Amino acid sequence: MENKRFLEGKVALITGAGSGFGQKMAITFASKGADLVLNDINLDGLKETRDLVLKSNKSKVLLIKADVSDSKQVNDMAKETFETFDNVYLLINNAGIDGGLYTALKAKEDVYDKVFGVNVKGPLNVTRAFFRRMKRQKQFEPVRGKIINIASTAGTQNGHNPMLGIYSASKAALIAFTRIWALELGSSNITVNSISPGVFLTPIYNNDPKLIRQFLESRSVKLPLDKIGESQWVADLALFLASSTADYITGQNLIIDGGLTLSVNKL
C-alpha cells in the first residue's frame, strides 16, 4: 500500500490545468504531497486552481502561462520549471480543444491546424522539452518518471462522432504517440500511458449536463452505467498510474467511459 504522501518530493507538471481534468488532477496530486507546475493559456483559471490547491495543501505551486502548440513557449516553460524545481516526475499532457463541430472533410484548414496544434503537437512539444531531464532522475528508481496523456474515447475505434472528426483524429494520434513513446523511453525507466475518458462533465461541454444528454440521445448511445462521468474519476485514475502499483504498466490506453465504447453508434 502507498503511504498517504507517496508523491512527496516529486513534481507534477500538468498542462491545461486551469479547469476540468487538469484542475482536479492538480488538487488530487497535491493531496498526496506533490509539488506542482501548472500550465494553461488561461491565467485566471490557473490562479483559481492554485487557490483550490492551497486551501488544503502546502504544496509549492508554479504557474506558467504558455501555449503548448508553440515550441518556444514550451522550452521557456521547461527552463522556468527547472529553475524552480529539481525534477518533474509526473508529466501530464492534458491540454486539449475540440475545435468545434465539423465533419472531417468539410472542416477548414485552420481548424485542422488549431486542433492538431494543441492536441498533438502540444504533447509532443512538452514531452520533447522534458524527457531528457526525466531520463536522468535516477533518484526515483525503479521508475524515473511517468508520462500520462489525456486522450479520449473519440480516438478509439468505437468512439467516433462524425461531427468531431478532427478532434477524433487528433486523439487517435495521441494514443499512437503513447505507444511510440513507451517504446522509446522504456529503457530509460519512464512509463507512458494514456487515459481516454468518455462523456464527462467538463468545460468542453460548457458544464451543461443537458448538452451531454442531448448528445447521447442524438447518437442513439446508451451508457451501460447510465451516468455522466465526473472529473474526479479521471484524476483518481491518473493517481493510480502515478502510484508504484502501476510501475509495470506502460504503453496502455486506459478507457474510462461508463461502457460508452461497448455501445453501438449509429453513424
The per-residue pLDDT for 267 is: 39
Reported as a single tens digit per residue, the pLDDT across 234-246 is 999 999 999 999 9
Using an 8 Å Cβ cutoff, are 14 and 24 in contact?
no
Residue 1: pLDDT band with limits 50, 70, 90: very low
In this prediction, residues 118-131 reach a mean pLDDT of 98
Q: Which residues are catalytic?
A: 167
Using an 8 Å Cβ cutoff, are 19 and 205 in contact?
no
pTM (2 decimals)?
A: 0.92
- Does residue 266 carry a pLDDT above 50? no
SS3 at position 253: strand
In this prediction, residues 41-47 reach a mean pLDDT of 97
Question: What cell does 49 get?
Answer: 486552481
For the chain, domains (ranges, CATH) are 11-262 (3.40.50.720)
Reported as a single tens digit per residue, the pLDDT across 55-99 is 999 999 999 999 999 999 999 999 999 999 999 999 999 999 988
Amino acid at 222: K
23 or 165, greater pLDDT = 23
Question: What cell does 256 get?
Answer: 474510462
